[in-house]
Structure 1
Amino acid sequence: MDVREKRLREELSEIMNRVYTKGLASSVGGNSSIICREDSYVLITPSGLDKMNVLPESIVKVNLDGKVLDGGVPSSELINHLAIYKSREDINAIVHAHPPTAVGMVSAGFVPKPVTPEYVVMIKKLSIVDFAVPGEESINKLVNGLKESDIVLLKNHGVFSVGQNLFEAFARIEVLEEAAKMVFAGKLFGGMHEFSEEEIKEIIDKYVRKKEG
C-alpha cells in the first residue's frame, strides 16, 4: 500500500466518524468513497459496519467495474458511487448521508432557500429527486440530479454530495443541514430572511473571489 492510499483510507475513516458524530446518519446508515483515477481504483466504506468503527483497514478497495481488490464487502451503494464517478469526471469524492432535518423538510414539500453565505457558496443549487429503491431508476435519478448540482437530495432517504475531496463533499451536507435547522427555528418565530438574487450575487462576488484570491 502506497502513501497516498494510506492517507485516503485515513480520510475516509475520519469522514464517516464525522458523519455519525454530527448526527448526519445512524450507525448503520451512510457511506463514502474516493476515486484514484490515475490508478483506476475506488476506496469505499464497507457494508454492515458500525460507522463509529470504520477504520482505515476496514475500507474496501475496488476497481472501476466494482470488483473487490482488497478488503471485505463494499457498501451496497457501490453501484451508485461508480455510476456517479463515470458521469462526473470532474469530481473525486462522494459522501452519502441522511441529514434528518433537511430530508424531512424537503420530503414534506418545503425546500429551504439560501439563508446563509455558506449555503450560497457551497450548495448553490440543491437538486431534489423522488425516492426510488436501489436500482437503475435510482441511479438515473442521482446521475441526472448531479448533472446540475453538486448535491442531490433523494426524498425519504438522504443526500449524495460530491466534491474534489471528501472534506468538500462532507461540508456541503453539513451546510445543508445547518441551514435547514436555521429555517426550521426561524419558522417557529415568524420566519427567516431569504437572500434576494442581488444579495446572492454580492455574496458570490465577495466570498468566492476572496476564497480564490
Structure 2
Amino acid sequence: MNAAEQLIAAGRAVVEAGLSPGSSGNISVLDGDRLLITGTGASLGALTPQALTETALDGTHLGGARPSKETPLHLGLYARDERHRAVVHVHSPQAVALSCLAPWREHSAIPPLTPYFVMRVGQTPLLPYRHPGDPALGADIRDARWPLRAALLANHGAVVAGASLEEAVERAAELEEACRIALLTAGRPRNELDPAQVRELAERWDSPWTPPTID
C-alpha cells in the first residue's frame, strides 16, 4: 500500500478500536520528505484520498485538503525522534477522562499498573492545557524534558507516535486501555509495578521510562 492507502486503513482501525468518536482525531505518516495527514474535519472511519493533505516538515501546505489544525502537534513528535514515522491523535474517552485529573507523576500521568503499558507505550506525561490547534502544543511536546513516544494533553486527549501507522494505532489502543485501568483503580489501594520491574521491562523493550532518582 502507498502512504495514502495506509492512512485510510489506519483511520478505519482507529474507529473500529473505539478511539475516535464522531469526526474527532487526526493521524499522519511521513512519506519521504513530506507529511501526509488527515484534513480538517475528516472522519477517520471514512477517509478518502481527497480528505488527506500534504505538508512540508516545516508545516507548509503542499496540496490536498485543508490541513488539520493539529499539524504542529504531529510535527512536534516527528522533531523529537527520527524513529517516529507515524502519529495518532485521538479524543478517546478514557484518555480524555484521565487527562482531566492530576497526573500520577510528573514524567507519567499514568501509573505502571501493567507490563503492557510499560512495554508498548512507556511513560506518558500530561502536557499543559492549550486550546485545540494552538501551535504551542507542538513546542510543548517537542521540548518536553522526558523521553517519550506518547503524551496526554490536558482536558483534550492523547497523542502517540510509532515507527509505522500500525504500531502507532496499536500504541494508541494500549494507552486507552492503560487509562481505563488507571481510572478503574483510582482511589483504591493498588499494586503498581515496582521501580526494578519497570526498569527491567523498559530496558528489555527499549521503552522510555525515567527512573525515580531522575524524576
Q: TM-score, normalised by structure 2?
A: 0.80
Aligned with residue 7 of structure 1, among 2, 5, 15 = 2
| CA shift for structure 1 position 135 | 3.0
Give the secondary structure class of the aligned counterpart of 1:126: coil
Q: 1:166 to 1:200 in 2, by over 3 A?
A: same
Counterpart of 2:24 in structure 1 is 29
Question: Is the contact between residue 183 and residue 192 of structure 1 (CA under 8 Å) also seen in structure 2?
Answer: no
Per-residue CA shift, 1:45-98, capped at 9, x if unaligned?
111122221134532222334344442212121233234323433321111111
Structure 2 stretches lacking a partner, 5+ long:
105-109, 207-215
* 1:130-161 Cα deviation digits (max 9, x unpaired): 11123343222121238621111111011121
Residue 198 of structure 2 aligns with an amino acid whose one-letter code is I
| More displaced stretch, 56-65 vs 164-173 | 56-65
Q: How does 1:71-82 map to 2 (within 5 A)?
A: 71-82=64-75
Shift of 1:24: 1.6
Matching residue of 1:153: 152
Give the TM-score taking structure 1 as reference length: 0.81
Change (3 A) 1:8 1:186: same
CA distance in 1, matches of 2:189, 2:166: 31
Q: Residues 147 and 33 (structure 1 numbering): CA distance in 2 closer, same or farther, change over 3 Å?
A: farther
Identity %: 26
- Residue deviations 1:13-62, cap 9 Å, x none? 1222222232222222110111123xx21111111122221134532222
The 1-side partners of 2:58 and 2:198 are apart by 41
Letter matched to residue 22 of structure 2: S
Q: Partner of 1:173 in structure 2?
A: 172
Aligned CA distance change for structure 1 residues 72 and 146 (closer, same or farther; 3 Å): farther
Runs of 4+ residues deviating >6 angstroms = none
What is the aligned partner in structure 2 of residue 45 from structure 1? 38
Counterparts in 2 of 1:57 and 1:130: CA distance versus 1, 3 Å: same
Call closer, same or farther: CA 1:145–1:170 in 2, change over 3 Å: farther
Aligned partner letter, 1:173: A
Determine whether 1:20 maps to 2:15: yes
**Which structure is higher in helix share?**
1
Are the equivalent residues in 2 in contact too, given 1:20–1:27 (CA < 8 A)?
Answer: no
Aligned length: 200
Which residue of structure 1 aligns with residue 205 of structure 2?
Answer: 208
Q: Secondary structure at the match of 1:118?
A: helix
Conserved in 1, the CA contact under 8 Å of 2:74 and 2:87?
yes
Q: Structure 1: where are the runs of 5+ without partners?
A: 1-5
Q: CA RMSD in A?
A: 2.5
Asked if the contact 1:27/1:52 (under 8 Å) is kept, the reply is: no
**Pairing 1:129-140 to 2, within 5 Å after superposition:** 129-133=127-131, 134-140=133-139
Give the equivalent residue in structure 2 for 1:66: 59
For the residue of structure 1 that corresponds to 2:54, the secondary structure is: strand
